[in-house]
Amino acid sequence: MLAELARLESSVTPLLPLKDYLYLMVLSREADQREHIMFKQGRGKFHLPSAGHEAVGAIAYAIESDDIVYPYYRDRALMLARGTKPYQLALDYLAKKNSSSGGRQMSSHFSDHEHHMVSCATPTGLQCLPSVGTAWGFKLAGKSNIVICCIGDAATRQGEFYEALCFALQEKLPIVFVVEDNGYGVSTATNTMTPYNILALAKEHCKIIDGRDPEAIFDATAIAVEKARTNGGPTVLWLELDRLMSHTSSDDQRIYRLQEELLAMAARDPIQRLYQKLVTDGQITENEWLSQCHDIKENVRSLYERAELEEDPEASEVKTHIFSDIPLIASPFDLTIEKCWDMVDAVNASLRHLLATNHRVILFGEDIEDPKGGVFGLTKKLSRDFPEQVFNSPLAEATIGGIAPGLALAGYMPIFELQFIDFVGPAFNQLVNQIATLRWRTMGRYKCPLVILAPCGGYFGGGGPWHSQTNESWFAHAPGLRVLMPSTPQDAADLICSAAMGDDPVLILLPKNLFRKKIMSDHTHSLYPDHANICRFGNDITVVAWGNCVDIALSAAKELEPEGISAEIIDIRSIVPCDLRTITHSLIKTGRLVIIQEDNRTCSFGQALISDLTADNEVWKRLKSPPKLVCRDDVHIGFHFKLEKAVLPDKNMLIKSIKESMVR
Ligand SMILES: Cc1ncc(C[n+]2csc(CCOP(=O)(O)OP(=O)(O)O)c2C)c(N)n1
Ligand SMILES: [Mg+2]
């Protein structure tokens, strides 16, 4: 009684309506049973059960409707408790056109924009860093909202879980991590593996809760939420519970779990436990229970039958929502280059302009704060002048890549810097699996407008294998990311400003060899980032380049002019999407093609471009010689300048290729 009173006083949230909640748990379980049966009948393709995790939905009663939840795939009860209709979950199971992902995601990969439940992707742990990004956004905006991030026990061994927890602790973020520990990751028992079991989690941040008891979960959540809302920072709620069914419909847990274990689990079924308690307390009678369960079962059956009749997704629509419908628009920012600026000046000026004109712009990256202002000085004096918008990140690229989409979800425009693209490895997961897929996998309901800046490339000398790459081909291969590379200061400013006004995730690779070169703007280039730039007109051969290679191509063309070879140089600027029209138009005129790229050969963007361009009948008919790719071979870049020079494409290699193309 006293505890009850204390809770009433301390809690700002309503109490958990136990009887209603019991029936919600039954509803969730019935949906699982129905999906299991339908899978066996061949009426569903995949079933991922939440059975045993139903008590977790009690969290919904301890938070506000505009708090954000990042659920994971066993959170059916939590979805229902937040307000998602069971019919909607039936559509998800059946991958119908009107499901949350339009049939694109596997079933149980929950998402409900209306109820602030953020789309769950399949890679385990992918939600942790974005959750923290959203919590950071709430804190920066001075809002009192909090974030709930749910995750399985095995997935807490993903590095991103630690990065997320570290950032949440560092910034005292309003977030609660909910670990649903069912003791297994598929067939692997986790009791000797979880950070809790191996004492890798500090006790102060972690609370062990009976995850089969909705009241215990509700109480613990209410306390953790109160702490989060009052600037007390994160809590890890570690819920001990059971996975009552096999991992998925593709698994049979009887192979790896003992019969006694399965029986013991069934005996502590959270639904039965709550039912018994309510019967004992006199809140429910057996008759009422039987009649309610019967009704729920029949309702669930009928709504799945109804959902089966709904429209399937249209195959012809699978390509929608890769990008926003709005192309990048020309930046109104006029970087009139009175004096001759270099790329560092131009990047700095455009970032300054964006910070000044949009308080939602946040810069985040390693060493970007003053007095250093970035290892290349790209952000010099920006943290001094915009201390509430410019922040050093920890030395953790996954954090940079993962905070960005979460912060975007909180309404900010992240412009984040990876110190060198060579170190993108840890951020790759977020870039390719989270950022690049979010819009597509939610039919545009969620999106990731953000900019990632990354110095790239060689010709600088002494960069070695990991300060010399451009790596654009890795990202060109990931549908859903725009990839840009400027070759002049003016272009850098235009591309950054346009990208920051857009609605898509944009990776801008900045060739650091150009950082200190003063290149006058010729004011003839297109202002639209998606349009290639014809830097030099010619009639005999089309040379396609981007980044550092544009300069090489221009000087090769100059050298060839006295020999009577007129080369047209096209700087594509936007690798994804690529302006094939402009190149095709040029090729139809010249009939000859050489592409020069810094990246290495196999499966590279240049290789792909040759394939796409020559697939055009008009181009093919007019080709006078085979297209050529001048690039680095499949070899790493050595530290010694001689070793670097031996592998990066240069003017002589390009001239040789152009001449070979001319004689055929
Ligand atoms: C990054 C990644 N690796 C592997 C998988 C395949 N996989 C899916 S679920 C899972 C086990 C997850 O266990 P846990 O986090 O404990 O959650 P549970 O399924 O037990 O609820 C694995 C290995 C995946 N989806 N993502
Ligand atoms: Mg597990």
145 C-alpha to center of ligand 2: Å? 28
Q: Are 656 and 650 in contact (CB under 8 A)?
A: no
Sheet containing strand 533-536, strands side by side: 533-536, 567-571, 541-545, 593-600, 628-632
Q: What 3-state class would DSSP assign to 311?
A: coil
Ligand nearest to the backbone CA of 51: 1
Q: How far is CA 110 from the centre of its chain?
A: 16
Pick from 505, 512, 466, 11: which is nearest to 222 by CA? 11
| Residues sharing a CB contact under 8 Å with residue 556, sequence separation 6 or more, in sequence order | 543, 567, 651, 654, 655, 658
Atom nearest to 53 CA in ligand 1: 21
Cα of 241 from ligand 2 centre, angstroms: 9
Query: And the tokens for 80?
Result: 């229902």
Whether the bond between 371 and the residue before it is cis, its omega within 30 degrees of 0, is yes
Ligand 2: centre distance to CA 58 (Å): 19
Q: Is 581 exposed, middle or buried (0-12, 13-18, 19+ CB in 10 A)?
A: exposed
Tokens standing for 213?
């008891």
Non-local CB neighbours of 260 within 8 Å, separated by 6+ positions: none
Determine the atom of ligand 1 nearest the C-alpha atom of 72: 21
CB proximity list for 570: less than 8 A, separation 6 or greater: 532, 533, 534, 535, 542, 543, 544, 545, 582, 583, 586
Q: What is the reported pTM?
A: 0.96
**Residue whose CA is at the smallest distance from ligand 1 atom 13:** 185
CA distance 93 to 73: 12
Quote the pLDDT of residue 341: 83
> Which residues fall inside 5 Å of ion ligand 2, going by CB?
152-154, 182, 184
Contact 118, 70 (CB under 8 A): yes
- Read off the DSSP letter of residue 507: E
Q: Residue 614 carries which side chain, given as an amino acid letter?
A: T
* Three-point CA angle 482, 435, 205, nearest 5°: 150
Omega before 449 within 30 of 0, i.e. cis: no
CB atoms within 10 A of CB 312: 10
Which amino acid residue places its CA nearest to atom 15 of ligand 1?
152
C-beta atoms surrounding 662 within 10 Å = 17
* Alpha-carbon span 180 to 164, nearest angstrom: 17
- 205 catalytic? Reply is no
3-class state of residue 361 by DSSP: strand
**Residue 648 contacts residue 632 (beta carbons within 8 Å):** yes
Q: Cα of 434 to ligand 2 centre, how many Å?
A: 22
Mean pLDDT, the chain cut into blocks of 10 residues (664 residues total): 43 75 98 98 97 98 98 98 98 98 98 98 98 98 98 98 98 98 98 94 95 98 98 98 97 97 97 97 96 98 98 97 89 64 93 97 98 98 98 98 98 98 98 98 98 96 95 98 94 93 97 90 71 95 98 97 97 97 98 98 98 96 97 98 97 98 84
Q: Return the ligand number nearest the Cα of 52.
A: 1
Q: Which two tokens stand for residue 449?
A: 């407008």
Which of 72, 107, 124 gets mutated to test ligand 1 (max ligand atoms within 8 A of its CB)? 124
Index of the ligand 1 atom closest to the CA of residue 181: 16
CB 508 within 8 A of CB 328: no
Structure tokens at 201: 């989690």
The ligand whose atoms approach the alpha carbon of 125 most closely is 1
Rounded to the nearest 10 degrees, how much is the dihedral formed by the CA atoms of 575, 580, 581, 585?
Answer: 120
| CA–CA distance, 439 with 129 (Å, rounded to integer) | 18
Quick one: which H or E segment has residue 643? Answer: helix 641-647
* Ligand closest to CA 56: 1
pLDDT at 458: 97
Give the rounded distance of the alpha carbon of 473 from its chain centre. 18
> For residue 116, what pLDDT is reported?
98
User: How many whole angstroms separate alpha carbon 558 and alpha carbon 580?
Assistant: 25
Ligand 1 atom nearest to CA at 158:
1
Residue 494 amino acid letter: D
Q: How far is the CA of 251 from the centre of ligand 2 (A)?
A: 14
Say how many Å lie between the CA of residue 93 and the centre of ligand 1: 19
Q: How far is the CA of 186 from the centre of ligand 1 (A)?
A: 7
How far CA 647 is from CA of 546, 619, 632, in Å, comes to 18, 30, 5
Task: Look up tokens 């060109």; give the residue.
Answer: 476
Ligand 1, closest atom to CA 125?
1
Q: Whose CA is nearest to atom 24 of ligand 1?
A: 123
- The two counts, helices (H) then strands (E), for the chain are 23, 19
CA of 531 to the centre of ligand 1 (A): 42
Residues 6+ apart with CB under 8 A from 2: none
Please state, in angstroms and rounded to a whole number, the distance separating the CA atoms of residues 147 and 145.
Answer: 7
The H or E element containing residue 305 is helix 286-308
What sign has the CA pseudo-torsion 379, 385, 387, 388? Answer: negative
Q: What is the pLDDT of residue 197?
A: 92
- Taking the centre of ligand 2 as the mean of its atom positions, its distance from the CA of residue 590, in whole angstroms, is 61
Closest approach atom of ligand 1 to CA 155 = 15
Q: Which ligand is nearest to the CA of 247?
A: 1
Residue type, 19: K
Interhelix angle 159-170/397-409, nearest 10 degrees = 70
Structure tokens at 388: 């509430």
Task: Specify the pLDDT at position 9.
Answer: 45
Q: Ligand 1, from 32, 186, 429: best to mutate by most atoms within 8 Å of Cβ?
A: 186
Report the first-to-last Cα separation within the chain, whole angstroms. Answer: 94
Phi and psi at 575, nearest 5°, equal -80, -45
Give the number of C-alpha atoms closer than 13 A to the C-alpha of residue 122, restricted to the C-beta side: 10
| Per-residue confidence (pLDDT) for residue 245, from 0 to 100 | 97
From 247, 467, 525, 531, the catalytic residue: 467
Report how far residue 150's alpha carbon sits from residue 166's, in angstroms, rounded to the nearest whole number.
Answer: 16
Which ligand 1 atom sits nearest the alpha carbon of residue 186? 11
Ligand 1 neighbours, Cβ below 6 Å, are 74, 122-124, 152-155, 180, 182, 184-186, 243, 247
Angstrom CA distances, 503 to 345, 435, 446, stand at 26, 12, 11
Angstrom distance (rounded) from CA 404 to CA 407: 5
